[in-house]
Structure formats: C-alpha cells, structure tokens
Amino acid sequence: MDATPIPASTPLRIGTRGSALALWQANFVRAELQQRGWPAQLAIITTSGDRHSARLRAMGGKGLFTKEIEEALLEHRIDLAVHSLKDVPAELPAGLVLGAIPPRADPRDVLLAHDGRTLARLPNCARVGTSSLRRQAQLLHRRPDLAIVPLSGNIDTRLRKWRDGDAAAIVLAAAGLDRLQADAAISERFEPADFLPAAGQGALAIECRAGDAAVLARLSALHHAASACAVAAERRVLEALGAGCHTALAAYADFHQGDLRLRARLFSPDGRDCLEAEARRPAPELDDAAARKLGDRVAESLQRQGAARLLALAINPPAPSLP
C-alpha cells in the first residue's frame, strides 16, 4: 500500500463532472476536507455521459458518468472523485475503491407538475417525462394511462424542458433538487412504500485508489457507516442480478425497528408485472459483509420468483403489436 504522506499544504485534487449538481457535491466534499485542515481543489472532467446524454440507455447508461474520471484516478491525475452513488456501477475498476460514503440525503423520487398536481391528480393520458426505466415502470404500474416521454439532460435542462411544455410533469431525485435549492417546484415526494428509489439514490460516493493510504485516512472522517451499510445492501441486489440502468429494478434499505430493512422491486418495462422481495437484519450485527449478504437474500428471492424473465424483457422488449 502506498503510504507516502501528503504534505498538509498540498491540495487534494478532486475529480468531478461540470454540471451544477456535480459541482455542488464536489464543493461539499472540498469544504468538509478543508474544515479538517486539508486543502483541496476541483478538476472538472467531461464524461461520455455528458457528451451523449440523449443516448444513455442505448449506450449502456451506468458507468458513462464515471469512466473518464476513474481513468484520471488510475493515471494519478486526481486524488479522489465525487459521484452520485446511483451513477456508479456495482463493480468498480480494479485498483479503485469507495473511500467514503457521507451521510445520505433524501433518497426519494419527487414529482414536479404544473399547478402543483400530485400523481393521482394528473389528467388522463398526461405526458410525464423521465429517462429512467425504473421510474417509467413504476409510473405505469400506478397509472397505466400515462404517456411516458423521454427526458434526458442535467437537472437544469430537464426543468427547462418541463417548463417549456415538453411534459405535464417530470420525476426527479429529491436530493438533487434539495442540494440546488430548486425544491420549490416539487408537488409530491413519493414515499418508498409507493415508489421505490434507485439503489444508492441520495448518497454520495467518494472514490479513490485502493492503495492510497493517505487519502483513505483523510476520507475516513467523512464516512457515515449507517448510510454505507444501507447502500451496500442495495447495490448488492443489482450486482447479484446483473442489473443496470437498462432494467426496471428498485432497491432501498432503511433502519426500521432496530433492523436494516431491505426492499426491492423488479418491474417489466410497461409496469404490468412486478416482483417484490424484502429481508431484514438486526442493526447491531451490521458491517459491509453482512449488508451484502442481506442483498444476496433479496436477490435470491427475486430470482426464485422469475427475475430472469423480467430482466430479459428490459433488455429485449417485445415488438409492439400491429393494429
């Protein structure tokens, strides 16, 4: 392990995308480090996801927002990287680790609709914008009459498209809007019982080189063990099922009555079929390995229920029937 000390006066180089939300997240981590006496500076890196946001699903999606930043880490051009955890693939490149998971923000999805309407009050056949297959399936599961329209881009772009009338409503992550103080337009925050979030949603991931002892030691001060256990369980469900952004899989873990409770739902793309699984483990017994075992239990339950069929549907959807 590289234990070469970093001089206190040498700024840590933080790799980040250049979107407003990514910069907020990176500046949050920089401030946390600087409060502890460790200077840091940002290095803005353009990713494949930034260049091809309209084609994410066709290109594979997850990992496109991290690839070039991870390359910079491996090439020692930066010392750490800050990501939205839900954008980070379950399997990291060799030589990289998640050095810290700070306290998780609101994990929920939210609806933004004109006139402050809730999902139940949207007009029949209303156009709802989302680029997420998971959100699409859950919307159609609750409201099969809705017309789902693809809506990609960063938060500002999607808000502008919605305000310009591209859709009657859009679904976004609460955490991003809260962080950018753009939450005034939210008309409904979905409770997880009704609309399950993506694995890792609301959490930040601070990634670094596995052998960089000096950086790992500093990041340990930013780590929140409870949040890390919850998202480790969620991400293990995706990993065990081989699922990515092309699948309508939702997973969420929270602490309930002294247990870590993990819930997952797998949908067909049209929302008609839904498989559900839940497992719990006493919180005092938790560490990363135990959280991952909880994820394995939930994934195995979904597999027994026929997850392979719904996963295949997401990858190769049936052709539309002729009129």
The answer to whether 149 and 142 are in contact (CB under 8 A) is no
Q: What is the pLDDT of residue 323?
A: 34
Q: What is the pLDDT of residue 59?
A: 46
Is 43 strand, coil or helix? strand
The closest alpha carbon to 26, from 204, 218, 293, belongs to: 204
Q: What is the pLDDT of residue 316?
A: 63
For the chain, report the end-to-end CA distance as a whole number of angstroms.
Answer: 64
Could you write out the three-class secondary structure of 172-238?
A: EEHHHHHHCCCHHHCCEECCCCCCCCCCCCCCEEEEEECCEHHHHHHHHHHCCHHHHHHHHHHHHHH
The answer to whether 231 and 85 are in contact (CB under 8 A) is yes
The answer to whether 240 and 294 are in contact (CB under 8 A) is no
Structure tokens, 187:
């008309």
Q: What's the CA gap between 197 and 83, in Å, rounded?
A: 17
Q: What's the CA gap between 88 and 63, in Å, rounded?
A: 6
Q: Could you give phi then psi for residue 5, rounded to 5 degrees?
A: -65, 145
Q: Active-site residues: which are they?
A: 87
Distances (CA, A) of 226 to 13, 142, 233: 27, 31, 11
Domains along the chain with CATH numbers: 12-102+203-223 (3.40.190.10), 109-189 (3.40.190.10), 233-313 (3.30.160.40)
Q: What is the pLDDT of residue 47?
A: 80
Distances (CA, A) of 78 to 6, 45, 159, 205: 13, 10, 32, 15
Strands 96-100 and 109-113, sheet pairing: unpaired
Q: What is the pLDDT of residue 53?
A: 54
Q: What is the pLDDT along the chain (323 residues), one digit of tens a residue?
A: 454 556 666 899 999 999 999 999 999 999 999 999 999 999 999 987 666 555 545 545 556 779 999 999 999 999 999 999 999 998 899 999 999 999 999 999 999 999 899 999 999 999 999 999 999 999 999 999 999 999 988 899 999 999 999 999 999 999 999 999 999 999 999 999 999 999 999 999 999 999 999 999 999 999 999 999 999 999 999 999 998 778 999 999 999 999 999 999 999 999 999 999 999 999 888 899 999 999 999 999 999 999 999 998 876 655 444 33
Q: Which helix (H) or strand (E) holds 111?
A: strand 109-113
Q: Could you give phi then psi for residue 3, rounded to 5 degrees?
A: -105, 15
Q: Could you give phi then psi for residue 300, rounded to 5 degrees?
A: -65, -40
Residue 112's beta-bridge partner residues? Answer: 170
Residue 248's beta-bridge partner residues? Answer: 267
The closest alpha carbon to 248, from 233, 238, 263, belongs to: 238
- Scanning 75-168, the segments in alpha helix (DSSP H) are 133-142, 155-163
Q: What is the pLDDT of residue 1?
A: 45
Strands 274-282 and 259-267, sheet pairing: antiparallel
